[in-house]
Chain A
Amino acid sequence: MARIDLDKIRHAYGADPKSEADFALRLVNQAFDDGGAYALLGPSGCGKTSLLNIISGLVTPTHGRVRFNGDDVTGLPTEKRNIAQVFQFPVIYDSMTVRENLAFPLRNRGVRSAEANRRVSEVLDMIGLSGIADRKARGLTADVKQKVSLGRGLVRSDVNAILFDEPLTVIDPLMKWQLRAQLRELHKRFGYTMIYVTHDQTEALTFANQVVVMYEGEIVQIGTPEELFERPSHTFVGYFIGSPGMNVIPTTLDGASMRLGDYSAPLSTVPRLRGKPKLEMGVRPEYVRIGAEGIPAAITRVEDAGRFRIVRAAVQGHAITAIVSEGDEIPADPHIAFDPKGLHLYADSWRVDLGAGDAS
């Protein structure tokens, strides 16, 4: 397995990019550790598949370099990079059996039959397909086919990384859950470097150690699922992660406080800002308190989500979502206050780091 370094990658698909908007990837500087399980998470068009293809070599970036264990592979074609890729829908050779499918990459590289058979049997065990090794690949279900695709990537002993491009798209929900667990198992047992592209936050958060959130061609945050939830670096991360997403409300600064109308939330220090950025306050619904104290609010809707309730309210003309647990009461004359632990300041959508603890 390898450590993968992306060095100042920029990529545009068109021939003549004129503005930032023409670039699918604006600027990516990122290292993927050997043996790490990463998820590239983001909405359609954010550049995650482009990034994956640049790592695998199916796409050559217009700027920047890709390194595996320090070696520059930017000019190397895919077949020489020793990566395995699992695509959105199962790509298998219909006319061959499962065993032959797995042996295919080895035979193409001239591996001797004894060695090839050994590897194939090993991988068949690993992914639990030994039982159907000699079945024709054509009639299998989608999830088994994806496993065969995965197996073809695992047979090569010199694989640098395994890349997944939304691999569970065609799998039905029950199998999705099982496959995810099995992938996680595989990673724990064998320590492969795995990079997993998805637009589904649940998949990303359950699969990866480190989630790389992408938006409009840039990496906006990398971190553990917890970091992404508690300290979103970008309003997009706040909005995308968590359900419902973070509340983002325009705010003004008053010295060391954020103001929302009469309400004032003190900050630990006076934030240093350049120029006149757009200022917003970010607070997750989990940290919004409805009670007797705070800003007067008007409740527009209460949705029952089982264990908790989602309260949609309006405060001084801004919509706010709060989460209230089952037992708690909602007062007749509701006021909204924010738990300082969950309060963040955003300047031009990027989080302002105020040192240890953001709000006092």
Chain B
Amino acid sequence: MKPVNQKAWFLVLPVLVLVAISAVIPLMMVVNFSVQEKASNGQFFWMGTKWYETVLHDEKFWGALFRSLSFSAIILAIQIPLGIFIALNMPRKGWGVPATLVLMALPLLIPWYVVGMIWQMFGRVDIGLMGVMLKDLGYNYVGDPVDAWGTLILMDVWHWTSLVALLAYAGLVSIPDAYYQAARIDGASKWAVFRYIQLPKLGRVLTIAVLLRFMDSLMIFAEPFRVTGGDPAFLSIELEQKSEELGWASAMSIIFFLIILAISWVFYAVMTREDSDSAKPEAAP
């Protein structure tokens, strides 16, 4: 049992100071700007909730929100099952294990702007491998919104599926052999093994994967910005494009942040509830 010791606050102080500077102060600045307007003489005066109302009535905001949510829904629908499927088929022993892990992790370590650049170079119909090959089918992400969406989705799947697969792999590998042996003795089919042994064990890991991907995909900026230059505009892109309008951008920032916060609260609630459920807590990233 952990002893109570208020002096522990001193150990936490450096973190507190650092994160306070990084988080609290900027956030306060944003809140500040979100309730004020700059007049022509440079002075700020109080606006109350006007900016918030403006944003919430602005179809650009709702458009961006809708686009971001749709994007997230689509990529989740692809990445989660795909990631699980790949994890189920990844090698468990031998030289294949480190080789697979290294190669699959590669996209995760590329700077996001470069990811966008890679896909731009890959998808352009003049210089890109994919672009040229698909040109005759009428593909061109520059003009066609459907093609643009398709390219961005493909890029995100390329970029992040490995994360889901690696997390799922970690979960699968932690299942003791005895479970598979018992299943053999019980005469279970492959589907039954998946449904009753693997899927339940994957539950917690998948929750983390889903929530991480959901939130990160809502916040995406650099990659689509580089590929399509800001059209379709997701939440972050919309925010960046309106950053000159301090009040508007700040109000939208707060709303945006609150959305993310709500999701992460769900995240935390689900995780800690699962912790108290299971008898053996496992460490997970």
User: Which residues of A are at the interface with B, using a C-beta cutoff of 8 A?
Assistant: 56, 58, 77-79, 83-85, 87-89, 91, 93-96, 104-105, 108-109, 138, 149, 152-153
Contact = CB atoms under 8 A, between A and B. Distances in A.
11 contacts: A79-B184, A83-B185, A89-B176, A89-B178, A94-B200, A104-B186, A104-B188, A104-B192, A105-B186, A108-B186, A108-B188
A186 B181 CA distance: 24
Interface in B229-271: none
Contacts of A93: 196-197, 200
A91 B185 CA distance: 12
B42 interface: no
Contacts of B186: 79, 104-105, 108, 152
Contact of B192 (A84, A88, A108, A149): A108
Contact of B184 (A77, A84, A138): A77
Interface in B142-180: 176, 178-179
Contacts of A89: 176, 178
Contacts of B18: none
- Per CB-CB distance, the 9 closest pairs between chain A and chain B, nearest first, are A108-B187, A91-B182, A105-B186, A87-B178, A93-B196, A78-B184, A79-B187, A91-B178, A95-B200
Interface of B: 176, 178-179, 181-182, 184-189, 192, 196-197, 200, 277
A131 B188 CA distance: 26
Nearest to B278: A138
Contacts of A138: 277
Q: Which of B178, B185, B187, B189 has most chain A Cβ within 10 Å?
A: B185
A87 B184 contact: no
A87 B182 contact: yes
A56 B181 CA distance: 10
For the residues of B in contact with A, the DSSP-based class is: helix
A78 B192 contact: no
A15 to B, nearest CB: 13
A95 B193 CA distance: 12
Contacts of A105: 185-187
Contacts of B277: 138
Contacts of A104: 186, 188, 192, 196
A138 B203 CA distance: 14
Contact of B187 (A58, A85, A96, A109): A109
Nearest to B187: A108
B185 A79 contact: yes
A85 B185 contact: yes
Contact of A95 (B182, B184, B196): B196
Contacts of B179: 91
Contacts of A56: 185
